[in-house]
Each structure stands twice: as structure tokens, then as C-alpha cells.
């Protein structure tokens, strides 16, 4: 059976204005696929990168990496989901900006009854990002110190809570006193207003000159150099996003000069490529939410037909917490 759904398409890279809503035919899922009817859709910076052309995509292209809703149908070979199940996902081919879609079942996980569709859509990509940052990228233990750049954003607020639940000291940065207060409320041990203070100098002061064990930096170009200066010798720099733009090429000898530093540029999509690993990561994340250790903060909601306005708010750093689109 073929149905028609509303979905966002881009035919050229550019600003928010290139996103168009059109009718799209949707059929039955094939082997290893599911069809999901969205109740909520997540908004993330990777959507901006793909729309703008920072991450090139063949055109015309769909957008969106994250959603939650009800499974309408499953294809042959899918055993962990069935029609009628509540489900959420992050990853797979872009296309979440739609009323419904078909996608590979491997990235779709059952959504516990205690987690709402909006929470599921808001937390999957950001929460799985935090999961791999804290669990899978470099060893972290209670008492370790982390600097998290942009701690009042959607990923940052989850990271603050995750760190508190693990006994990890998180020093967060944010661009206003209000955003610093938000990070502290969610579990940051200290917060630095990067508009008023030299972040590296303040980190050294807070750590008695030692520096932090790990930096988690999703901002990119504007913060990269300062982030390196915040690390202790042998520390780990995790550059996981480009909110301010792509990081320029790095002279590897810089890492040696600053204390034999380590540097990695991971993506969530590598970690969730294996379906069993994806489900295990999601179970870890959902356990944090159901225990109350992590509260999903959704501060902005936009109807799907206001997707251009949603992107403008995100790019203008006018958002806190997570943002969802409602189809």
C-alpha cells in the first residue's frame, strides 16, 4: 500500500530558505526495514551542516537524523520490532523531517513506555553522543575532570547530568550568565562565561594549574585552540562537532608541544553502525532517563511547516536544551 506524506526536501545547499515541504509517496518496508509514523522529530546541528553543504549530500536530499513514533510495518528479517511498537532512532539515511518514513531497522530501538515521544526524539542523537563520549571514547572514572564546551546546549545539558551521575567533575562553558546557571543547575561543577573570561586561564585556575583530563568540544573552529590549552599533559581532546565551523587543519606537532596530547574526531554514526551496539547504547541511555539521573529538557517546539524558523533559531544560538519538530 502506498501513502502520501509531507516531508522536507532540499534541491540546493544554502540557508534555511532552501528547505521545502512537499508530498512524498511512501510504500512498504523492504527486508531489514521498518516504516515509522513520527510523533516528534529531533533537530540537530548535523541537519544544518547537511543543509548548508558543510557535509555534502547528493541532491535533491531529505533532512533529519532523529525521530520517535509508532512502527507501522516491518520488513522481512526484522525481529526486535513489530507493528504497533513505540520506537525511536538516530542515524541511518537522512529523512526524519517527514510525517512518516522507511529506514533500516538496525538504528531503530524500542522506546520504553516511561519516555515520551518528544523525549525520545529529543534525546536519541544527543544522548547517544553523550553515551559514546563518556563510555566508549576514552576511559573516564569518578574524580576525573572534563571540560565541556557549550554546556547549555542540547548535548551539553545531558552531559552535565551524565557527569554528575558518574561522579565526574564537569567544567562547562556557555555564552551568558543565564546559560552558565542552566549548566550548573543540570550538574556542571563549575561554569565559565566564555564572553567574559579567558577559558583556558580560568580552567587552569580551577584545576590549580593542572588542566583537565578530557575536553569534549562540539563547537569546533572558534574553541579548538583554547580547548587544547585546557588539557593536562597526555590529556584527550574529543572534537565531535562543528557548530561554529570546521576546524582548520592541525599541525600534529602542536599536540607534542602542548604536552603529548591525544586528539580524536569521532561520530555517533560509527558507534551505532552495529545494531546490537546501538541497542545496548540506547538501553544505557534510557536507563539513565528512567532512573531520573537524566532529565530531557525540551525548550523549543516548532511545527514541521516552521522548519526554516527552527533552523534559524538553532544557528543563531537562540536555543537552550533540545528542540523538536512536531509533524
**Is residue 273 one of the residues assigned to a domain?**
no
- φ and ψ at residue 128, rounded to 5 degrees: -70, -30
Quick: pLDDT tens for 43-95. 998 899 899 998 889 999 999 999 999 999 999 999 999 999 999 999 889 99
- Co-location of 145 and 78 in the same domain: no
**Is residue 133 one of the residues assigned to a domain?**
no
Domain containing residue 108: CATH number: 3.90.180.10
Q: What is the 3-state secondary structure (H, E, C) of 143-159?
A: CCEEEEECCCEHHHHHH
**Is residue 131 one of the residues assigned to a domain?**
no
pLDDT, position 220: 85
pLDDT, position 322: 86
**Is residue 52 one of the residues assigned to a domain?**
yes
- Co-location of 290 and 234 in the same domain: no
Q: Which residues form the domain of 152?
A: 138-265
Whether the per-residue pLDDT at 265 is higher than 90: the answer is yes
- Co-location of 162 and 250 in the same domain: yes
Quote the number of domains for the chain: 2
**Is residue 132 one of the residues assigned to a domain?**
no
Whether the per-residue pLDDT at 146 is higher than 90: the answer is yes
The pLDDT > 70 percentage for the chain reads 100
**Is residue 57 one of the residues assigned to a domain?**
yes
Amino acid at each position: 500500500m502506498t501513502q502520501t506524506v509531507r516531508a522536507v526536501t532540499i534541491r540546493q545547499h544554502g540557508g534555511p530558505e532552501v528547505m521545502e515541504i512537499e508530498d512524498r509517496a511512501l510504500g512498504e518496508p523492504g527486508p531489514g526495514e521498518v516504516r515509522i509514523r513520527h510523533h516528534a522529530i529531533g533537530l540537530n546541528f548535523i541537519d544544518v551542516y547537511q543543509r548548508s553543504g558543510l557535509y555534502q549530500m547528493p541532491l535533491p536530499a531529505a533532512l533529519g537524523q532523529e525521530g520517535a513514533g509508532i512502527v507501522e510495518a516491518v520488513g522481512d528479517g526484522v525481529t526486535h520490532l513489530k507493528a504497533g511498537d513505540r520506537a525511536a532512532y538516530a542515524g541511518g539515511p537522512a529523512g526524519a523531517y517527514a510525517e512518516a518514513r522507511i529506514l533500516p531497522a538496525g538504528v531503530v530501538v524500542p522506546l520504553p513506555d516511561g519516555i515520551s515521544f518528544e523525549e525520545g526524539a529529543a534525546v536519541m542523537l544527543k544522548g547517544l553522543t553523550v553515551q559514546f563520549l563518556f563510555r566508549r571514547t576514552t576511559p573516564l572514572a569518578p574524580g576525573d575532570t572534563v571540560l565541556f564546551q557549550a554546556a547549555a546546549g542540547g548535548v551539553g545539558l545531558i552531559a552535565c547530568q551524565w557527569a554528575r551521575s558518574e561522579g565526574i567533575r564537569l567544567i562547562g562553558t556557555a555564552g551568558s550568565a543565564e546559560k552558565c546557571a542552566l549548566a550548573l543547575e543540570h550538574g556542571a561543577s563549575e561554569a565559565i562565561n566564555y564572553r567574559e573570561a579567558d577559558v583556558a586561564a580560568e580552567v587552569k585556575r580551577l584545576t590549580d594549574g593542572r588542566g583537565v583530563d578530557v575536553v569534549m568540544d562540539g563547537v569546533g573552529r572558534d574553541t579548538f585552540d583554547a580547548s587544547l590549552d585546557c588539557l593536562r599533559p597526555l590529556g584527550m581532546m574529543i572534537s565531535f562537532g562543528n557548530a561554529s565551523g570546521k576546524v582548520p587543519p592541525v599541525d600534529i606537532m602542536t599536540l607534542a608541544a602542548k604536552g603529548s596530547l591525544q586528539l580524536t574526531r569521532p561520530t555517533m554514526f560509527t558507534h551505532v553502525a552495529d545494531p546490537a551496539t546501538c541497542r545496548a547504547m540506547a538501553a544505557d541511555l534510557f536507563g539513565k532517563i528512567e532512573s531520573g539521573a537524566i532529565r530531557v529538557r525540551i525548550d523549543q517546539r516548532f511545527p514541521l511547516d516552521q522548519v526554516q524558523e527552527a533552523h534559524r533559531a538553532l544557528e543563531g544560538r537562540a536555543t537552550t536544551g533540545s528542540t523538536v519538530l512536531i509533524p
